[in-house]
Amino acid sequence: MVGASLLFSLMGVCVKLASTQYGAGEMVMYRALVGLPLMAAMMRWRGVSWRTSRPRMHLSRSVSGSVALCLWFVAIGGLPLATAMTLNYMSAVWMAVFLMLGVLWSGRGGNEAAARLDVPLVAAIAIGFLGVALVLRPTLAQDQLGHGLLGLGSGMLAAVAYLQVSAMGRLGEPGERVVFYFSLSGVLAGALLALLTGGFHAHDARGLALLLAIGLLATGAQWMMTRAYAIGATLGIASLQYLGIVFSVLLGFLLFDDKVSAIAILGMVLIVAAGVWANFLRSRVATVQR
């Protein structure tokens, strides 16, 4: 997971560099184009069929994930790297929001479990959104609020996608097939966004190298993250992913001279704390419900 966090941060660096030459839709499309043949080869190697009995679930997951990726790439292009990464990592807090609403709506886990877990969940959510307010505060003075809200939206949609992936996993849907159809939807969604926002740009050696790096880094990070969750303790692994924020702060400072204020750093710390706490509470809810 440490390696995956570093690769995702490096991917963010490449996205930020490429954003001066390409639109977000183009980068999403080319990222998926690199990953698509790799996942097809993986499916063939592992004997996973392309056919699925759950096309609607794949469609829903692919749409939410692709839109989240498009919003995130736009945010990276207009925000300090660490800020964009942090807002995307709000997905853990958004999942806590969805979980709490689900418990309240369905009553699963019983009234005793809900009473015991709702207050800590609400506290974790409140801390997370306080962190968001502190992270976004510096953007108000720099006309970056729109990009900040897009980054926040990317985290929310990423949470939806993660929950859908988890649901498909419980139903026995192979991860390779899930990633393959997500990559396919990324090609289509990225191409559509590119056509709607100015079309495609000409390539040069620098641009092609950055696009290839984005695809390879993302694919490697996804594989490492999947492997980490397969062999490690879920809560500890989920907590380690927040090292991506630390990597992004350092890379943003070294490569882009990003200035991160003390208020923004405090907000990042609160979001990390809320995310780790929310992951712990969600694992407790799952245990109680079982």
pLDDT at residue 176 in the model: 80
Residue 174 confidence class, pLDDT cut points 50, 70, 90:
confident
Split at pLDDT 50, 70, 90, the class of 107 is: low
Q: For the chain, give the mean pLDDT.
A: 84
Nearest CA to 29 among 231, 214, 155, 179? 214
Predicted confidence band at 138 (pLDDT cuts at 50, 70, 90)?
A: low
> What value does the mean pLDDT take over residues 111-126?
66
Give residue 232's pLDDT band: very low, low, confident or very high (50, 70, 90): low
Q: What whole-number percentage of the chain has pLDDT above 70? A: 88
Higher pLDDT, 138 or 64: 64
pLDDT at 82 over 90: no
Q: How far apart are CA 128 and CA 132, in angstroms?
A: 6
Give the pLDDT mean for 123-140: 80
Split into its structural domains, the chain has a count of: 1
The answer to whether 15 and 28 have CB atoms below 8 angstroms apart is no
For residue 194, the one-letter residue type is A
**Rounded to whole angstroms, how far apart are CA atoms 87 and 148?**
8
Q: Is 75 within 8 Å of 147 (Cβ atoms)?
A: yes
Tokens representing 185 are 């939807």
Domain that holds residue 253: 2-289
Q: Is 248 a residue whose pLDDT tops 70?
A: yes
| Nearest Cα residue to 184 out of 45, 71, 31 | 31
| Residue 47 burial (10 A CB sphere; 0-12, 13-18, 19+) | exposed
Q: Residue 117 pLDDT more than 60?
A: no
The residues near 188 (Cβ < 8 Å, ≥ 6 apart) are 66
Is the pLDDT at 114 greater than 60? The verdict is no
Q: Mean pLDDT throughout 117-130?
A: 79
Q: What is the pLDDT of residues 189-200, one digit of tens each?
A: 999 999 998 889
Predicted confidence at residue 229, as pLDDT, reads 72
Q: Has residue 285 got a pLDDT over 60?
A: no
Question: What is the structure's pLDDT at 213?
Answer: 96
Of these ranges, 69-83, 170-184, 251-265, the one predicted with the greatest mean pLDDT is: 69-83
Q: Provide the whole-model pTM.
A: 0.83
φ, ψ for residue 136, nearest 5 deg: -80, -20
The angle subtended at Cα 101 by Cα 99 and Cα 105, nearest 5°, is 115
Helix (H, G, I), strand (E, B) or coil at 259: coil
Those residues with Cβ within 8 angstroms of residue 34's Cβ, 6 or more apart along the chain or in another chain = 211, 212, 214, 215, 216, 218, 219
Distance CA 285, CA 279 (A): 10
Q: 20-24, 148-152, 233-237 — which is least confidently predicted?
A: 233-237
User: Which pLDDT score is estimated for 118?
Assistant: 65
Environment class of 45 (CB within 10 Å of its CB; exposed 0-12, middle 13-18, buried 19+)? exposed
Residue of higher predicted confidence among 236 and 124: 124
Q: Over the range 179-215, which residues count as b (16 or more CB within 10 Å of their CB) and which as e? A: bbbbbbbbbebbbebbeeeeeeeeeeeebeebbebbb
